[in-house]
Chain A
Amino acid sequence: MQTLEELARAGEGRDLFEAVLEDDCRERGATREDSLSRMGALLEAMRRAQAGYDPTLRSGSGMAGGDGARMRRYARERGGVCGPFVGEVIAQAIEMGESNACMKRIVAAPTAGSCGVLPAVLLPYQRREGLRDEDVVRALYVAGAIGQAIATQASISGAEGGCQAEIGSASAMAAGALCYLGGGDAQAVCHAAAIALKSLLGLVCDPVAGLVEVPCVKRNAAGAMIAMMSADMALAGIRSAVPPDEVVLAMRDVGERMDASLRETGLAGTAGTPFGICMRERIQGGKATP
Chain B
Amino acid sequence: MNLFDILGPVMVGPSSSHTAGAVRIGLAARALLGRGTPRRAHIALCGSFAATGRGHGTPRALIAGLLGMEPDDERIPDSPRLAREAGMDVSFGEEPLRGEHPNTARLHVEAADGETLDMTASSLGGGRIEVVEMNGLSVLFSGELPTLIVQNRDQPGCVSDVTGILAGEEVNIATMRLYRDHPGGSAVMVLEIDKPVAGEGLARLRAIEGVFSVTYLDARRAL
Q: Which residues of A contact B (CB under 8 A)?
A: 20, 23-24, 27-28, 35, 38-39, 41-42, 45, 59-61, 99-113, 115, 140-141, 143-145, 147-148, 151-152, 156-157, 159, 173, 209-213, 266, 283-284, 286, 288-290
Contacts of A38 in B (CB 8 A): 4, 222-223
Contacts of B80 in A (CB 8 A): 290
Number of interface residues of B (CB under 8 A): 44
Is B63 located at the chain interface by the 8 A CB criterion?
A: yes
Contacts of B198 in A (CB 8 A): none
In the docked arrangement, what's the CA distance between A103 and B9, Å?
14
* A143 and chain B: residue at smallest CB distance: B7
Comparing B14-22, B113-121, B167-175, the segment that makes contact with chain A is B14-22
Contacts of B59 in A (CB 8 A): 288-290
In the docked arrangement, what's the CA distance between A222 and B31, Å?
42
- Looking at the assembled complex, report how far the CB atom of B104 sits from the nearest CB atom of chain A, in whole angstroms: 15
With known contacts A159-B125, A286-B54, A290-B59, A24–B11 Cβ distance under 8 A:
no
Whether A209 contacts B52 by the Cβ 8 Å rule is yes
In the docked arrangement, what's the CA distance between A121 and B3, Å?
20
> CB < 8 Å: which of B12, B52, B60, B92 contacts A105?
B12
In the docked arrangement, what's the CA distance between A28 and B144, Å?
13
- Looking at the assembled complex, report how far the CB atom of A269 sits from the nearest CB atom of chain B, in whole angstroms: 15
Is B56 located at the chain interface by the 8 A CB criterion?
A: yes
Contacts of A108 in B (CB 8 A): 7-11, 16, 20, 126-127
With known contacts A20-B3, A148-B1, A159-B125, A104–B51 Cβ distance under 8 A:
no
In the docked arrangement, what's the CA distance between A102 and B16, Å?
14
Contacts of A140 in B (CB 8 A): 7
Is B50 located at the chain interface by the 8 A CB criterion?
A: yes
In the docked arrangement, what's the CA distance between A110 and B94, Å?
31
Contacts of A113 in B (CB 8 A): 14-15
Is B109 located at the chain interface by the 8 A CB criterion?
A: no
- Looking at the assembled complex, report how far the CB atom of A34 sits from the nearest CB atom of chain B, in whole angstroms: 9
Is B87 located at the chain interface by the 8 A CB criterion?
A: no
With known contacts A107-B8, A108-B126, A212–B13 Cβ distance under 8 A:
yes
Contacts of A109 in B (CB 8 A): 6-8
In the docked arrangement, what's the CA distance between A147 and B5, Å?
10
In the docked arrangement, what's the CA distance between A60 and B19, Å?
14
Contacts of B56 in A (CB 8 A): 210-212
